Amino acid sequence: MQENKRYYFHGDIVESGKYFCARCDLTVPISHYYEFIHSNRDVGDEDIKRFVSMKKAGVPAGYFRPENAENYIE
């Protein structure tokens, strides 16, 4: 029985065609990351940094993230 809540890293696929943006705390389409929504100077690098730092920090207690979770950055 799985009681933990699914944890999403920045860029993880939530469902087909929908991704998690940790910078906005929103479920977004893939175009979100490429449309200068955050800032026109940090697209790309900041998204990768955010993903890597979340991966390093790991999944908090009470949550789980599947080993094979799909992410657009990876």
Closer to Zn ion by Cβ: residue 24 or 48: 24
Task: Indicate the residue among 21 and 65 with the shorter CB distance to Zn ion.
Answer: 21
C-alpha torsion sign, points 51, 30, 70, 21: positive
Rule CB under 5 A: say whether 30 interacts with Zn ion: no
In the Cβ-directed half-sphere of 64, how many Cα atoms lie within 13 Å? 8
Q: For Zn ion, which residue of 8, 11, 19, 21 counts as binding (CB under 5 A)? A: 21
Return residues touching Zn ion (CB under 5 A).
21, 23-24
